[in-house]
Amino acid sequence: MQTVTPEWLQSIESLKSVPLLQLQWWIDNSRHYELGEGEFLIKSGEPLTGTHVIISGRIKIFLPQNKGIRNIRFIEAKEITGYLPFSRGTSFAVDGEVVEAAQVMTYPVEKIKDVIDHYFELTQALVHIMTSRVRDFTAMQQQNEKMMALGKLSAGLAHELNNPASAIVRGSASLLRHLKLVPDTFKKVISIKMSDEQVDKVNNKMFTVLARKDKPTLTLMKRTELEDELAECLLGHSVDNSQETAENLIEFGFTCNDVNEIATSVPPEYLSPVLNWINNNLVTEKMVNDIQEASQRIEKLVSAVKNFTHMDRGSDKEYIDIHSGIANTLSMLAHKIKKGNVKVEEDYDTSLPPVKAFVGELNQVWTNLIDNALDAMEVNNKGRLKIKTKQDRQFVEVSIIDDGPGVPDEIKSRIFDPFFTTKEIGKGTGLGLDVVSRIVQQHGGTIKVNSVPGSTEFLVCFPIDG
């Protein structure tokens, strides 16, 4: 085994200012040993035994997860791990397996009071290691959670954006083909001779039909039946392209009665070009409307992403409408909601005043809670998600309720622990609810879970002027 000296310990950056006498005392009161490849320095669930200084070797830190493991990091020579002064931890949450034969120096946890009472510089250095570890761990949690959230949201967004984008491509191509046919119709229309009164009657009839608001939603069978009736009616008036024209006119609520009424105002020889002219205009309008709706859908999604990430604002708290953040989150997760056959019920207290909060962080809370609820309901292949807001004195309460199988009693106390997850590998990090808990605490609030089979409620409460 390598001989450990105070000078060697001082070569560790975090111990460089600790007096040699204190380091010698630490060496003399520690246990020195070796671990072979495959042995464990730490085991999940076991009590913290002491402060470990890795003299040489390499140790893999990982988290058991269902039937597999998730690697977290490697501990190398000159790193310090395990129990540190003033730490509130009592047991390990992860496993540490030796992957390269290691030499370890362990200062026992039962003697930690001696360090605190008599060796200020050594205590100060170890506490600094602990605060750095907490900071690094928190940063890693946030980064991992953001990457997981980004992966989920990007998949849903890709699907949501693909539909309207494809609709625009199809619609613009169809519109271009349709416009190429217009000159032929124009030749026939330009030769029509009708009085102003007749033209006004046709115009008024067309816009009356378009203004109808009680157009029924048709089944495929009923639609086919009405198209055949209208096509037969048009054919009876010697209208060209009667079948195709009927299919388009049905879309706008035209009936045989409407055609007969127009026929009373148009000379028989001009009825076919007039109806085909009306049809062409309606088709053009429908194509433009379809393209406009698809474009607006893309604009809405981009706006939701912008507001969700809060990328055009500062990092300070500001007064915001929490319902807007929840709405943006639902837009981001729309694909998953539809895929899971989930019905969303929104019960909002619209009298709620603006809430002072970090907008981006608060959106992360809604994303994690709603996403977890959707995952929970997957087993039923359908579900009901209820989101409720209300004011309780100077606080706002947000409830997110799902009708999934519920959280088992034996794990309720652990669901907010870092790295704890019941999801399969690759689906959950175990960081979501821990991140949620920390963000809610950052806002001076609380989060509680009430769960029975068929109803799980996460209740978030935080001050309005936090």
The pLDDT score that the predictor gives to residue 154 is: 63
Q: Which CATH number fits domain 313-463: 3.30.565.10, 3.30.70.20, 3.40.50.10800, 1.10.101.10?
A: 3.30.565.10
Residue with tokens 């693909």: 162
Widest Cα–Cα separation across the chain: 114
The pLDDT score that the predictor gives to residue 396 is: 95
The CATH class for the domain spanning 6-118 reads mainly beta
CA 55 – CA 15 distance, rounded (Å) = 14
CA 450 – CA 406 distance, rounded (Å) = 9
Distances, alpha carbon 199 to alpha carbons 196, 220, 255, in Å: 5, 34, 20
Name the segment(s) of the chain with CATH classification 3.30.565.10.
313-463
Name the segment(s) of the chain with CATH classification 2.60.120.10.
6-118
The pLDDT score that the predictor gives to residue 164 is: 74
Digitized pLDDT (tens) for each residue of the chain, 466 residues in all = 889 999 999 999 999 999 999 999 999 999 999 999 999 999 988 898 999 999 999 999 887 766 667 777 889 999 998 888 887 778 887 889 999 999 999 999 999 999 999 999 999 998 888 877 766 666 665 555 555 555 566 666 666 677 677 778 877 877 777 676 666 666 666 667 778 888 888 888 777 877 766 666 677 888 888 889 999 999 999 988 888 888 888 888 888 988 888 888 888 888 888 888 888 878 887 788 788 877 877 776 676 666 655 544 555 788 889 998 898 888 878 878 888 899 999 999 989 999 998 887 888 889 889 988 998 999 889 999 999 999 998 999 999 999 999 988 887 777 876 655 655 544 444 446 877 888 888 889 999 999 999 999 999 999 998 7
The pLDDT score that the predictor gives to residue 157 is: 66
The pLDDT score that the predictor gives to residue 460 is: 95
462 has which bridge partners? Answer: 396
Provide φ and ψ at 210, rounded to 5°: -65, -30
Three-state secondary structure of the chain: CCCCCHHHHHCCHHHCCCCHHHHHHHHHCCEEEEECCCCEEECCCCECCEEEEEEEEEEEEEEEECCEEEEEEEEECCCEEECCCCCCCCECCCEEEEEEEEEEEEEEHHHHHHHHHHCHHHHHHHHHHHHHHHHHHHHHHHHHHHHHHHHHHHHHHHHHHHHHHHHHHHHHHHHHHHHHHHHHHHHHHHCCCCCHHHHHHHHHHHHHHHCCCCCCCCCHHHHHHHHHHHHHHHHHCCCCCHHHHHHHHHHCCCCHHHHHHHHCCCCHHHHHHHHHHHHHHHHHHHHHHHHHHHHHHHHHHHHHHHHHHCCCCCCCCEEECHHHHHHHHHHHCHHHHHHCCEEEEEECCCCCCCEEECHHHHHHHHHHHHHHHHHHHHHHCCEEEEEEEEEECCEEEEEEEECCCCCCHHHHHHCCCCCCCCCCCCCCCCCHHHHHHHHHHHCCCEEEEEEECCEEEEEEEEECCC
